[in-house]
Amino acid sequence: MKIVIDAMGGDNAPLEIVHGALDALVVDKDVKIILVGDDDKINPILEQRNYDASRVEIVDAKEEISNEESPTTAIKTKRESSLVKSFEKLKSDEDAGGFVSAGSTGAVLVGAFMKVGRIKGVSRPALAPVLPTLDGNGVVLCDCGANVDCKPINLLHFAVMASSYAQSMLGAERPRVGLLNNGAEAHKGNELSKQAYELLSNSDDINFVGNCEARDMLTGDFDVVVTDGFAGNIALKTAEGTANLLLKLIKRGVYAGGLKPKLGAAMLKPVFKDVKAKLDFNAQGGACFLGVNKVIVKAHGASARGAITASILQARDLAKKNICERIRDGVMRANSMTSAEADEK
Amino acid sequence: MKIVIDAMGGDNAPLEIVHGALDALVVDKDVKIILVGDDDKINPILEQRNYDASRVEIVDAKEEISNEESPTTAIKTKRESSLVKSFEKLKSDEDAGGFVSAGSTGAVLVGAFMKVGRIKGVSRPALAPVLPTLDGNGVVLCDCGANVDCKPINLLHFAVMASSYAQSMLGAERPRVGLLNNGAEAHKGNELSKQAYELLSNSDDINFVGNCEARDMLTGDFDVVVTDGFAGNIALKTAEGTANLLLKLIKRGVYAGGLKPKLGAAMLKPVFKDVKAKLDFNAQGGACFLGVNKVIVKAHGASARGAITASILQARDLAKKNICERIRDGVMRANSMTSAEADEK
């Protein structure tokens, strides 16, 4: 199994990316890596390590795409960029099962869409991170930003794709799917969510359990929460921002409080460390871009080597479990049901 | 200044509502209260307390509206309900400056809209809670659920109304208004937020400072954050849910960790208590329903007497500061600017 890696994407590229990739070779003897990026920068890092050179391929790419550029323009014009060359390699090399990048989210999504292509039948590919839950199992949030304006059919496809993903990633047998909404009752919602509720309720292909109020998103009552990319982005980033606020308020209280709370905080250090680790949205890998023809994992821009290794192993797992084929089959079934129902009416 | 109080609304009605209302009389000698509800239930509570009877009026109302009922049907048919009679009193009594209820949010909004009426020029009244921020000043989120499908002009009105509110409640002279969006850059957003950005940028009546990513909503960089009621509801409840998750994870870690973390937690107790108080979205009163002809404060359903007292004092402050007149003037100015611009085009 080969995994293609954008060696130049992210805040810590190429150093942490290359090290993280080499670490993945140690963890899994069956993995091979293809590092795409400036070989003048990659080779000096490789030279510092012992590794099996037969399992490492380098594709030289001298250009880079930054977060500030327009994704569409960059993908269209920067043909020598690590990202464009990664997608070309991913498409041309049959053994390449997946791709990992910590670079510009917009460019990764646009590039995957344009160069790797949509799975047949999928109306819109979607970005799906796994968020931490109280029970430790995690919940897939789909979409969290790839599609800011959606139609009901998109949300049905998100539900089907994210269910396959939750089966592969979280081991949930019949993933419980919730629709993010402004109330738990069936009649709640805006125009989009009311229509999506109807569609999700009538689908036999997913285990739809009803509306999910945002305050219940992280309780562990849902394996999948579907929503349009705008609301999903708001939910994801509000969760990040609130966790930050709370930890900062505690820290500030400790520093302002004198000796006793400082001592208390020292005694609680392992607990805080553990909680922080549980809340780390990126420890288990990255967000998956579901609905394109290869496995695409978007690692956090700030990823250090550990997160890169985790993302590579995640891409390997998803490719091994044929996530793309499962999504294709699931969406095809859902589409035939939906059009069959439409025919009946 | 008279404040009308729905004595039967909320989880702890009428006991905590009546006590909270009587406490407000102690805090401010100029306040008078009108308790609306079943006098067979209210009188026994009043009999337990010493208070100035000349400052308390009771309006008997034998019906109640529950959270489970359709708000519109309930307001239309339950004419003897505490809520409907409250609104009638609020409208007919010229000295009644404001209203407080801990009852069904939907029924309060629908009732206020139908019985008290919209301020002239306001396209949509909106629900605006104050959320806690890192700097302790708070931020007004508007709308957070009254209008799940919005047009750009609604968001401009939310910005104008919430700015008046932030001036009165937070003491912000030129409230910094942010547009909740899925990215900080000007071109980001869904169709609604892109058009709203345009409209907000061109308005001289507000201090628009640009897009607000959800992770920055609670940093203190904004005094007002505007959004449609669907996304606002997601943001509000995600913040609540995440804070809950984090505190539960810490608690669980402490219990699982043996003696040392337990001792540490005991030493940190004042810090945790303080952080919890800072995160209590309801300690300072309730959410204000902006854009109707009287001050409407929706207290949390779980409000105990302290939150009710705070909500009454909040309603008093807003009425004293003529928030409704200020909103009317602000919206009128914004509308004349917008139509003047429209004329020019």
pLDDT (tens, 9 = 90+) of chain B, 345 residues, equals 999 999 999 999 999 999 999 999 999 999 999 999 999 999 999 999 999 999 999 999 999 999 888 999 999 999 999 999 999 999 999 999 999 999 999 999 999 999 999 999 999 999 999 999 998 899 999 999 999 999 999 999 999 999 999 999 999 999 999 999 999 988 899 999 999 999 999 999 999 999 999 999 999 999 999 999 999 999 999 999 999 999 999 999 999 988 999 999 999 999 999 898 888 766 778 999 999 999 999 999 989 999 999 999 999 999 999 999 999 999 999 998 877 555 544
CB spacing of B257 vs A264 below 8 angstroms: no
Q: Pairing state of beta strands A32-37 and A56-60?
A: parallel
Q: What is the rounded CA–CA span in Å between residue A330 and residue B327?
A: 52
Q: What integer pLDDT is reported at residue B345 of this predicted model?
A: 45
- The single-letter code of the amino acid at B110 is V
User: What string of H, E and C letters represents the secondary structure of chain B?
Assistant: CEEEEECCCCCCCCHHHHHHHHHHHHHCCCCEEEEEECHHHHHHHHHCCCCCHHHEEEEECCECCCCCCCHHHHHHHCCCEHHHHHHHHHHHCCCEEEEEECCCHHHHHHHHHHHHCECCCCCCCEEECEECCCCCCCEEEECCCCCCCCCHHHHHHHHHHHHHHHHHHHCCCCCEEEEEECCCCCCCCCHHHHHHHHHHHCCCCCEEEEEEEHHHCCCCCCCEEECCHHHHHHHHHHHHHHHHHHHHHHHHHHHHCCHHHHHHHHHCHHHHHHHHHHHCCCCCCCEEEECECCEEEECCCCCCHHHHHHHHHHHHHHHHCCHHHHHHHHHHHHHHHHHHHHHHC
To the nearest whole number, what is the mean pLDDT of chain A? Answer: 94
Q: Do domains A1-122+291-345 and A124-281 have the same CATH topology?
A: yes
- Tell me the CATH class for B1-122+291-321: alpha beta
Chain A stretch 172-201, residues whose beta carbon is closer than 8 A to a beta carbon of chain B: 180, 182, 189-191, 193
Smallest Cβ distance to B214: which of A148, A233, A271?
A: A233
Nearest to A268 among B215, B245, B264 (CB): B264
Instruction: Inform me whether the pLDDT recorded for A65 exceeds 90.
Output: yes
Contacts of A215 (CB under 8 A, 6+ apart): B237, B238, B240, B241, B244
**Exposure class string for B146-159: b at 16+ Cβ within 10 A, else e:** bbbebbbbbbbbbb
Is B268–A266 a contact, with Cβ atoms under 8 angstroms apart? no
Quick count: other Cβ atoms within 10 Å of Cβ A261? 23
Most A CBs within 10 A among B181, B222, B242, hence the mutation to make, goes to: B242
Interface test with A, best of B267, B276, B279 (most A CBs within 10 A): B267
pLDDT of amino acid A25:
97
Tell me the β-bridge partners of A98: A3, A295
Residue A267 C-alpha, separation from nearest chain B C-alpha, in angstroms: 5
- Note the pLDDT of residue B343: 52
- 8 Å CB contact between A50 and A58: no
Which chain A residues are within 8 Å of B249, Cβ to Cβ?
Answer: 134, 275, 278-279
**Does A249 touch chain B if contact means CB atoms closer than 8 Å?**
yes
Q: Which of B180, B191, B249 is the closest to A149 by Cβ?
A: B191
What pLDDT does B341 receive?
A: 57
**Amino acid A345: pLDDT:** 45
Angle at A110 between CA A108 and CA A116, to 5 degrees: 85
User: pLDDT tens for residues B116-170?
Assistant: 999 999 999 999 999 999 988 999 999 999 999 999 999 999 999 999 999 999 9
Domain map (residue ranges) of chain A: 1-122+291-345, 124-281
- The pLDDT value recorded for residue A281 is 67
Tell me: domain A1-122+291-345, CATH 3.40.718.10, correct? yes
Q: Is the peptide bond before B152 cis (omega within 30 degrees of 0)?
A: no
Is the model's pLDDT at A341 over the cut of 60?
no
Calpha distance B80→B183 (Å, rounded): 48
Give the nearest partner residue to B253 out of A219, A245, A275, using CB atoms. Answer: A275
Q: For the residues A4-14, what does the mean pLDDT come to?
A: 96
Q: Which CATH class is domain B123-284?
A: alpha beta
Closest of B197, B131, B199, B140 to residue B165, by C-alpha: B140
pLDDT per position as a tens digit, A259-277: 999 999 999 999 999 888 8
**Please, what CATH class does the domain formed by A124-281 belong to?**
alpha beta
Q: Is the pTM of this model over 0.90?
A: yes
Cβ–Cβ of B230/A189 closer than 8 Å? yes
Over range A85-114, report the average pLDDT: 96
- Flag if A216 and B189 touch (Cβ within 8 Å): no
Q: What is the mean pLDDT of residues A238-256?
A: 92
Are the Cβ atoms of A148 and B267 closer than 8 angstroms?
Answer: no
- pLDDT tens for B231-260 read 999 999 999 999 999 999 999 999 998 899
Residue A283 in this model has a pLDDT that exceeds 80: no
**How confident is the model at residue B107, as a pLDDT?**
96
CB contact, 8 Å: A73 with chain B? no
Rounded to a whole number, what is the distance in Å from the CA of A49 to chain B's nearest CA? 38
Residues of chain B with C-beta less than 8 angstroms from the C-beta of A229: 182
> Chain B contact for A235, CB < 8 A?
yes
What chain B residue is nearest to A254 in terms of C-alpha separation? B271
Give B136 to chain A, closest Cα distance, Å: 10
| Residue B278, pLDDT score | 84
> Is A332 within 8 Å of chain B by CB?
no
User: Closest-CA residue in chain B for A234?
Assistant: B214
Answer for the pair B75, B107: CB distance below 8 angstroms, yes or no.
yes
Q: In whole angstroms, what is the distance from residue A192 CA to residue A199 CA?
A: 11
Residue located via tokens 């699931």: A330
